[in-house]
Each structure stands twice: as C-alpha cells, then as structure tokens.
Amino acid sequence: MVTKIKLFTSSKLKDCPGCNMAKQLFSNLSLEYEEIDVVTNREERRRMFKKTHSFVVPIVEIGDDFFIGFGNKNSFLIIESLKKHGLWTQKTVVNLQPNLKKKL
C-alpha cells in the first residue's frame, strides 16, 4: 500500500509561503500529493481538526504523521517522515526557500 501525502491549504489565503514551500518540495521530489482546501472540504477539515486540534495551514499529512506549518523544523521532520514511508529518494539537498520577489 502506497502512503498518501495530503496537503491542507486554504483558498482564503492568496499567498501562503508555507503552502508554497510544501508544494515546491513535493514538486521538486516528483511526489504526488492531494491538495485539500479546508474552506470547501468540510469533511476533511473536521477530520484534520480531530487529529491535530488546529486550523492552521499548511498541514501536511503523510501516512499517520501530521505536520502543522512548514518552517525549518517541520521541513526536516517532513523529510524524515518521507524517508520513514519510503518516499524520499533524494541524495542531494533541496532548496526550500520561498520566492519572495513580488511581481510588479
């Protein structure tokens, strides 16, 4: 059974640096993930809240692991979870810095 990755985001937040960094990580690793909008998906929002007791986004779910937010500590823990679930195959460092340049 393949471990699924779920990324909980909010359509109410137009620019979420943590959400963008998580998407960038999964994209760089060519990992498939399901993006769940907590605004429109009430059932998943309730399930996530029961597990994490948080409405903060992003929340990353990998198997039975949940990570609230996407900062330095959580990015390390997410990578460890990817390894634990056999999803991490990278041998090189991945740049997780957000693109903070504003379009003019």
Domain layout of the chain by residue ranges: 5-9+23-84
Q: What is the pLDDT along the chain (104 residues), one digit of tens a residue?
A: 678 999 999 999 888 999 999 999 899 888 999 999 999 999 999 999 999 999 899 999 999 999 999 988 888 899 999 999 998 877 655 565 555 555 54
Backbone angles phi, psi at 101, to 5 degrees: -70, 130
Q: Are 44 and 51 contacting, i.e. CB atoms less than 8 angstroms apart?
A: no
3-state helix, strand, coil in the chain (%, to 5): 35, 15, 50
CATH 3.40.30.10 at 5-9+23-84, yes or no: yes
Which pTM was predicted?
0.82
